[in-house]
Amino acid sequence: MKKILVLEDETSIRSFVVINLKRSGYDPVEAGTGAEALKALEENPDIKVALLDIMLPDMDGFEVCRQIRAVNSKMGIIMLTARTQEMDKVTGLMTGADDYVTKPFSPAELTARIDALFRRVGGGDDTPSDLIIQGPFRLNARNRTVEKNGERVRLTQVEYAIVKLFMDNPGRALSREDILNAVWGRDYFGELKIVDVNIRRLRIKIEDDPTNPTYITTVWGYGYKWGF
Ligand code: CA
């Protein structure tokens, strides 16, 4: 069974989500507060994906996300946002979330997002191949790790997938649509903005000077290019 954490304090919404996840073959673990969620994750190390509500009684979902990321870079994280402000989405992604779903959402939409994230977190479609070494970077596709100057860079699965795409296409300008399709999949419902936010986060992790990026350069009005 595919275990998934459902953090939502409103019991009616939580039950609705849980029922639909069970129908789709998932094994939901429920939490109503941030503290309960963190405890549930400790007790269930086999949870691979977490759905995090933002407005909670004890702490906000961004803080829960930050605390998960501090110890686990591989967990798939989807924020459930009630508000539709762009800032919420950006804040969520900058704290380490992989995706967000805006309430009210349909069960089909939520399940599609979760299925897509599970595929990425599982990494089953990545054929093991050789090391890719470019400039200071060394990517190991077998264990999905990236090193810069011999030091491990802690990446989320999404960030890893973006770096892999870049390293497979050095020097080639990739459109934001190319990146979205390759990393999130063609069935992804979201917006192109998610590409920019992930690139911004990635630059902070891998650039010598994130304000003056040299590895991931912007191709204005088009997308991004990997090079040295
Ligand atoms: Ca709430």
CA of 163 to the centre of ligand 1 (A): 34
CA of 217 to the centre of ligand 1 (A): 38
CA of 19 to the centre of ligand 1 (A): 18
CA of 62 to the centre of ligand 1 (A): 12
Question: If we measure between CA atoms, which residue out of 114, 226, 103, 113 comes closest to residue 163?
Answer: 226
CA angle 208, 210, 211 (to 5 degrees): 125
Q: Which ranges of the chain would DSSP assign to H, the alpha helix? A: 11-23, 34-43, 61-71, 86-94, 107-122, 157-168, 176-183, 193-206
CA of 61 to the centre of ligand 1 (A): 9
Q: Chain-wide mean pLDDT for the chain?
A: 88
- Who surrounds ion ligand 1 at CB < 5 A? 9, 53, 55
pTM reported for the whole predicted model:
0.59
Residues with Cβ within 8 Å of 63's Cβ and at least 6 positions away in sequence, in order, are 34
CA of 67 to the centre of ligand 1 (A): 18
CA gap 207, 26 in Å, rounded: 38
Looking at residue 86, its pLDDT comes to 59
What pLDDT digit, counting tens, does each position of 120-158 carry? 776 444 444 568 888 889 998 888 899 999 899 999 999
CA of 101 to the centre of ligand 1 (A): 13
What pLDDT digit, counting tens, does each position of 183-223 carry? 988 777 778 889 999 999 999 999 999 999 999 999 999 99
What pLDDT digit, counting tens, does each position of 21-44 carry? 998 888 999 999 999 999 999 999
CA of 53 to the centre of ligand 1 (A): 6
CA of 44 to the centre of ligand 1 (A): 23
Question: If we measure between CA atoms, which residue out of 115, 114, 113, 145 comes closest to residue 128?
Answer: 145
CATH architecture of 2-121: 3-Layer(aba) Sandwich (3.40)
CA of 13 to the centre of ligand 1 (A): 9
Q: Which ranges of 127-173 would DSSP assign to H, the alpha helix? A: 157-168
CA of 17 to the centre of ligand 1 (A): 13
Question: Which CATH number describes the domain made up of 131-226?
Answer: 1.10.10.10
CA of 220 to the centre of ligand 1 (A): 39
Name the residue with higher pLDDT: 142 or 5.
5
CA of 145 to the centre of ligand 1 (A): 35
Domain ranges within the chain, ordered by starting residue:
2-121, 131-226
Task: Identify the bridge partners of residue 134 per DSSP, sorted by sequence position.
Answer: 137
